[in-house]
A and B are shown apart, each in its own frame.
Chain A
């Protein structure tokens, strides 16, 4: 067997393991599901650009402040402000990002417009993060926009005519979903790495009951005990055992997010969980990730790959760890049963 085939076979096996060994649907059902998913994905891409336009427009109350800026700590994509000056730079960035998002919203099937939207958003995000700190509010949108550049051109009818093209469209859309989920997994993984380090030093770690209370105490004192988190955050600090199970659940959701990309039955439930985590962060740490929540809603809660009628049992059976244990147990049981029926198969 050639190396290429071996690699492909291993990748297929890995994908199946990540997906929790799903039962393959019958072909007609699979094609119907794919047709529906394609139509939904095309609509969602358009909605993505229109939401992006509104997000950028929503900053209009800052335009006057930006107009009067005297100094910036420039990130490299907007280093050219040094030649144009801040005012001209701000005008260029704001105009280009708004125009790019709008034209891509009107004609998302044209790659040139999607490139314009991604480039506009990229420089806008760089400018937005040139105030002395890199926030991550727009990063997920930037990456989703960059990935959507790879979508094949054409409307839904044009895409449907060719299976390969439709498959490519869905794969690129899935990559945007997977990227967002990967970012959450990275965040969770670094928390686990931090926990390992702190446990080895004998410090309070992320698994400690006071972990959330300590984060909240630092954050709320940093901002003068203000914001929406002041009340609930204060309660969590005074009663750390209330926040402990929630924090551990959030850690589980974050760590295994990337696995969920391979399990469509979980897309909607995970989207709700991630938004709930953001609400929890808002009400304990006074940090609102509203743009993340919007994108999670678009890509996961509205996921075109999610089954229309997923039962609770299906969702529970797809859960990372629990679902995997069940799937592996089922496979082992199935093999034993098969070996009893056809002893030659085991050999």
Chain B
């Protein structure tokens, strides 16, 4: 009798587990659809939609930083952020790239407060260690294969020029904490991924 009661209980647990798993699946898929119906909407962590490299880049639009001057004189001529690997160690970091896209989008649409917020963590996390770094935020338009072969951009527009805070001073600052992120991020043609 005891065994039978235990068996019934286990069967109930089993059914409940199945219902829970199905419910979780439904919630997950609903959130994915909710996030993906608006292009560029940021995902609700940890409910990733896994929409990665979904669109093939045709004519690609993005933002980058054009580094103009460095206080220590190591930058010989202006260079884009991604081509400045010899002076900035973070050029391959996906976080740096996404922060730049975020900054470019905010600068292009005149969202001053957002520009200030993104600059705080972009400069502290990815441009740190350089005194008096002067840079421009540039919007670009190019064909990927054409750029790969010839280095040619179809359009380059300077959106803003900034000077990064002195890194030594930045280390003396109080920690800057930003509000939890929400809302929209700029949406380049294909989302990028990196560990």
Contacts and interface: CB of A to CB of B under 8 A. Distances in A.
Interface string B34-65: 00100000110110111111111110100000
Contact of A186 (B11, B49, B82): B49
Given A129-B45, A213-B145, A214-B145, A136 B193 contact: yes
16 contacts: A69-B125, A71-B178, A72-B178, A73-B99, A75-B181, A125-B46, A183-B50, A187-B50, A190-B49, A191-B53, A194-B51, A198-B56, A213-B145, A214-B145, A287-B195, A289-B193
A76 B183 CA distance: 12
Contacts, number: 210
Interface string B153-187: 00000000000000000110101111111100000
Given A86-B175, A132-B99, A204-B56, A220 B121 contact: no
Nearest to B119: A71
B94 A135 contact: yes
User: Which 10 A-B residue pairs are closest in the complex by CB-CB distance?
Assistant: A164-B10, A133-B98, A132-B99, A217-B144, A194-B54, A190-B51, A131-B95, A71-B176, A71-B121, A217-B148
Contacts of B83: 224
B56 A73 contact: no
A206 B178 contact: no
Contact of A224 (B36, B91, B182): B91
A118 to B, nearest CB: 11
B48 A72 contact: no
Contacts of B20: 150
Chain B interface extent, by class: 35 or more
Interface string B16-42: 011011000100000010001000001
Interface in A103-159: 122, 125-126, 129, 131-137, 139, 142-143, 147, 150, 152
Nearest to B177: A82
A135 B145 contact: no
Contacts of B192: 219, 222, 287
Given A211-B56, A214-B144, A74 B195 contact: no
Contacts of B91: 223-224
Contacts of A1: none
B95 A215 contact: no
Given A165-B13, A217-B148, 8 more contacts: A69-B125, A129-B45, A131-B125, A187-B52, A191-B54, A215-B57, A226-B85, A287-B193
Contacts of B121: 71-73, 131-132
A172 interface: yes
Contact of A70 (B82, B124, B148): B124
Contact of B46 (A122, A172, A182, A291): A122
B79 to A, nearest CB: 10
B73 interface: no
A203 interface: yes
B191 to A, nearest CB: 10
Interface in A216-275: 217-224, 226-227, 237
Contact of B95 (A132, A168, A210): A132
A148 B194 CA distance: 26
Contacts of B131: none
Contacts of A126: 45-46
